[in-house]
């Protein structure tokens, strides 16, 4: 596939840092074809006005974050907004839905805006409203006051359903539009921050919009409805929201864990009830979260909603199920990903001939085997550090130094400081049974 120079640079930079790129992941995605047709159909359904929930399970290193970003990249290409939220005990506790909403708006992305896209979405919606008002033919385009008033009336009509549950959402939008019309940017910014769920917004901005306090747990869900309504009215299909690493709630206090599980159940039920048309909610977690005693089994209604048969041979897994599992990486997949990354790098550099000469498929396999060996033979946890070494230690040097030959001049080293806790445990394990996972 053809990738722009900018996208190639983003991919290479992310892999060099040991992180998952956010765009163009289909360029080196491996093993996801079995899900693609179903996921495309699910995105079409959500774009047509449905709400949908999906859970993805897999061991560490199998590519859950990659899968989520690959799907988000696919969704943005189809006009969706997306938001990836890392569940965290301290920064984004799952049971505090107002905090989840705040992170959602902070990380809202579209094809044109990689982060913080709420302002663009709202401004685009007001432009759509003004165009609809002018199309009525009853307002003089030069009469700013009349145009503003009629746009406000149309706003109320379009958000009538949301306003019945959250009148402050439409009030804040009116205030934002009025502040912009008066060129009062400080107040407009304050109102937008309040709409985003930010705390400590200036009292003057809230008074201007006629709102009080901060968005709470229940208000957050109403405001999510409002954002979905704004998107639909602008002709955009909806939002894909990713709650990544939900297994972290297993490590919190039992009362907080139970609240978090109940919040997740509430979200799933609200999506199923049709409250959020245009929302695709995706969560990722380890098998221990879905099957273990400190995970969803603590809340029976949630366990029932997510129950899927994984006893049957994985070849016959149902990608339409509410929960799907990602297969662990094997050496063949790891080598294939490495070769695709090498090909992307080769297109990116003028030293493509040297890259092809020194980094053949055979060498990529040898490096993959060496990295896997350093990690206790666990291929499943090798992809991140393998790609980091391939790009940062090998390909970059081949690119920059004409006389660098990785077979002769490079010896693989992995320091503890560049490893995650799970990777570090694997390097010190004498056998697979010695690896202790923090669950």
Higher model confidence: residue 421 or residue 408? 408
Does the pLDDT at position 436 exceed 70? no
| Most confident stretch, 187-196, 378-387, 412-421 | 187-196
Nearest CA to 256 among 88, 384, 418, 423? 88
Looking at residue 101, what is its pLDDT? 95
Q: Which of 45-54, 134-143, 338-347 has the lowest mean pLDDT?
A: 134-143
Does the pLDDT at position 140 exceed 90? no
Nearest CA to 321 among 312, 334, 333? 312
311-358 pLDDT per residue, tens: 888 889 999 999 999 887 789 989 999 999 999 999 888 888 999 999
Give just the sign of the alpha carbon dihedral 86, 107, 99, 301. negative
Average pLDDT rounded to a whole number, residues 174-202 = 93
265-316 pLDDT per residue, tens: 999 999 999 999 999 999 999 999 999 998 999 999 999 999 999 988 888 9
The per-residue pLDDT of the chain, averaged, comes to 89
Cα–Cα distance measured from residue 89 to residue 253, given in angstroms and rounded to the nearest whole number: 10
Helix (H, G, I), strand (E, B) or coil at 432: helix
Yes or no: domain 32-110+236-325 corresponds to CATH 3.40.50.720: no
Residue with structure tokens 């498929």? 361
Looking at residue 418, what is its pLDDT? 83
Looking at residue 162, what is its pLDDT? 76
For residue 270 the two structure tokens come to 């609200």
Per-residue pLDDT band for 361 (boundaries 50, 70, 90) equals: very high
Does the pLDDT at position 439 exceed 60? no
Cα–Cα distance measured from residue 185 to residue 283, given in angstroms and rounded to the nearest whole number: 37
Residues near 186 by beta carbon (within 8 Å), at least 6 away in sequence: 205
Does the pLDDT at position 187 exceed 50? yes
Count of C-beta atoms within a 10 Å radius of residue 69? 22
Average pLDDT rounded to a whole number, residues 94-106 = 94
Cα–Cα distance measured from residue 41 to residue 43, given in angstroms and rounded to the nearest whole number: 5
- Dihedral (C-alpha) 315, 319, 325, 331: value to the nearest 10 degrees? 50
Per-residue pLDDT band for 77 (boundaries 50, 70, 90) equals: very high
Cα–Cα distance measured from residue 225 to residue 164, given in angstroms and rounded to the nearest whole number: 11
For residue 230 the two structure tokens come to 């704004």
Looking at residue 3, what is its pLDDT? 78
Own/partner pairs, 351-359, CB within 8 angstroms, 24+ separation: 351/398, 351/399, 351/402, 354/398, 354/399, 354/402, 355/395, 355/398, 355/399, 358/398, 358/404, 358/405, 358/406, 358/407, 359/394, 359/395, 359/398, 359/406
Domain ranges of the chain: 1-31+329-427, 32-110+236-325, 118-221
Residue 278 zone, left/alpha/beta (φ > 0; ψ -120 to 50; rest) = left
Cα–Cα distance measured from residue 39 to residue 34, given in angstroms and rounded to the nearest whole number: 10
Phi, psi for 61 (deg, rounded to 5): 90, -5
**Cα three-residue angle 103-107-112, rounded to 5 degrees:** 160
Residue with structure tokens 């080293």? 413
Looking at residue 430, what is its pLDDT? 42
Per-residue pLDDT band for 1 (boundaries 50, 70, 90) equals: low
Average pLDDT rounded to a whole number, residues 96-114 = 93
Per-residue pLDDT band for 428 (boundaries 50, 70, 90) equals: low
196-246 pLDDT per residue, tens: 999 889 999 999 999 998 998 888 999 999 999 999 888 899 999 999 989
| DSSP 8-state assignment for residue 215 | -
Residue with structure tokens 């992305």? 109
Q: Is 241:104 a contact under the CB 8 Å cutoff?
A: yes
For residue 400 the two structure tokens come to 């920059």
End-to-end Cα separation, the chain, in angstroms: 39
Average pLDDT rounded to a whole number, residues 57-72 = 87
Instruction: Give the rounded percent of residues in the chain with a pLDDT score beyond 90.
Output: 56
Looking at residue 438, what is its pLDDT? 44
């Amino acid at each position: 596939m053809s990738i722009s120079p900018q996208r190639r640079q983003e991919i290479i930079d992310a892999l060099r840092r040991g992180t998952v790129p956010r765009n163009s992941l289909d360029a080196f995605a491996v093993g996801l074809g079995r899900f693609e047709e179903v996921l495309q159909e699910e995105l079409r359904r959500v774009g047509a006005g449905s709400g949908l929930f999906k859970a993805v399970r897999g061991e560490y290193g199998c590519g859950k974050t990659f899968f989520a970003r690959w799907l988000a990249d696919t969704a943005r290409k189809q006009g969706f907004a997306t938001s990836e939220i890392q569940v965290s005990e301290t920064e984004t506790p799952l049971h505090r839905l107002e905090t989840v909403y705040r992170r959602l708006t902070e990380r809202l992305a579209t094809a044109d805006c990689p982060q913080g896209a709420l302002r663009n979405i709202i401004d685009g919606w007001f432009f759509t409203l003004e165009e609809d008002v002018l199309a009525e033919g009853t307002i003089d385009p030069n009469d700013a006051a009349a145009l503003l008033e009629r746009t406000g009336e149309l706003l109320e009509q379009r958000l009538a359903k949301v306003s019945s549950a959250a009148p402050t959402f439409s009030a804040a939008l009116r205030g934002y539009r009025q502040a912009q019309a008066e060129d009062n940017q400080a107040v407009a910014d304050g109102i937008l921050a309040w709409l985003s769920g930010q705390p400590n917004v200036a009292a003057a901005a809230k008074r201007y919009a006629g709102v009080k306090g901060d968005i709470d747990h229940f208000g957050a869900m109403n405001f999510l409805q409002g954002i979905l309504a704004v998107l639909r009215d602008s002709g955009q299909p909806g939002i894909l929201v990713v709650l990544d690493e939900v297994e972290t709630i297993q490590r919190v206090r039992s009362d907080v864990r139970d609240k978090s599980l109940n919040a997740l159940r509430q979200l799933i039920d609200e999506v199923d009830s049709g409250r959020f048309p245009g929302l695709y909610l995706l969560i990722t977690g380890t098998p221990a979260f879905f099957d273990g005693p400190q995970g969803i089994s603590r809340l029976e209604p949630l366990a029932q909603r997510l129950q899927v048969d994984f006893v049957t041979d994985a070849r016959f897994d149902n990608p339409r199920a509410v929960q799907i599992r990602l297969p662990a990486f094997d050496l063949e997949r790891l080598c294939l990903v490495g070769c695709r990354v090498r090909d992307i790098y080769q297109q990116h550099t003028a030293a493509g001939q040297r890259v092809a000469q020194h980094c053949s498929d055979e060498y990529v396999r040898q490096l993959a085997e060496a990295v896997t060996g350093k990690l206790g033979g666990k291929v499943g946890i090798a992809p991140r550090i393998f790609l980091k070494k391939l790009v940062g230690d090998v390909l970059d040097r081949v690119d920059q130094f004409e006389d660098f030959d990785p077979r002769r001049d490079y010896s693989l080293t992995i320091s503890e400081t560049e490893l995650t806790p799970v990777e570090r445990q694997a390097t010190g394990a004498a056998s697979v049974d010695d690896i202790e996972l923090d669950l």
